[in-house]
Amino acid sequence: MKEKIHPEYGKTTITCACGAVYHVGSTKKNIRVEICAKCHPFFTGVQKIVDSGGRVERFRQKYGYIQGEQEAKESGNR
Ligand SMILES: [Zn+2]
């Protein structure tokens, strides 16, 4: 390898929000992630919505999960 044209490649740690730490080789240092193989629902089999800051709830209110149920009731009375 030529010197000084390659990024510095060394060992680093990836820290997940769930607390899992991975030791990997990378050109970056101290990577932080919010989800990883240990806590991702696909791997854990646990159904949970990753909802930081109530975004899912606001989406539901805005785009009619609650509204849609009310309309269904009203049309059923006719
Ligand atoms: Zn994780």
Output the tens digit of pLDDT for each of the chain's 78 residues.
677 888 888 899 999 988 999 998 888 888 898 888 888 776 666 666 666 667 777 777 777 665 555 555 666 655
φ, ψ of residue 23 to 5 degrees: the values are -100, 120
pTM value? 0.45
Under 8 Å between Cβ of 18 and 39? yes
Task: Please tell me the predicted confidence (pLDDT) of residue 61.
Answer: 75
DSSP-assigned letter for residue 8? P
For residue 20, the CA-to-ligand 1 centroid distance in Å is 5
Cα(21) to centroid(ligand 1), Å: 8
Give the burial string for 6-36 (b: 16+ CB within 10 Å, else e).
eeeeeebebebeeeeeeeeeeeeeeeeeeeb
Please tell me the predicted confidence (pLDDT) of residue 73: 61
